[in-house]
Amino acid sequence: TAGDKLSELKGIPCSAGVVRASVSKIESVDSRFPQKQIMATYATDPGYVVMFAGATGILTERGSLLSHAAIVSREMNIPCIVGIEGLMEQLNDGDEVIMDGSTGVVKILNRHL
């Protein structure tokens, strides 16, 4: 049914690396981002760069290989996947995931309600 959440998401792999961590959903550049988590957001712009340094990985709903998130994460060696359809609807804040920046696959291990 439409309400069912997936256990695996797929996007465009942009920056290699495998990370297992909890997800912090960021709705805007004004959001508070806890360190050492995977940032999940709709898209990034230069205002987000201060949050990148504390992120173990970056996931975005929109974007391409040449999007802001993809370019900055490659420069900073942070695993990144962009263009994940339905990302912000499928993930909950605090979900534990494994993301692989080489394959573009995000596996959801534990759902946080």
Catalytic residue annotation: 68
DSSP state of 73: H
Largest pairwise CA distance in the chain? 40
Q: Which H or E element spans position 52?
A: helix 49-52
Q: Which H or E element spans position 88?
A: helix 87-90
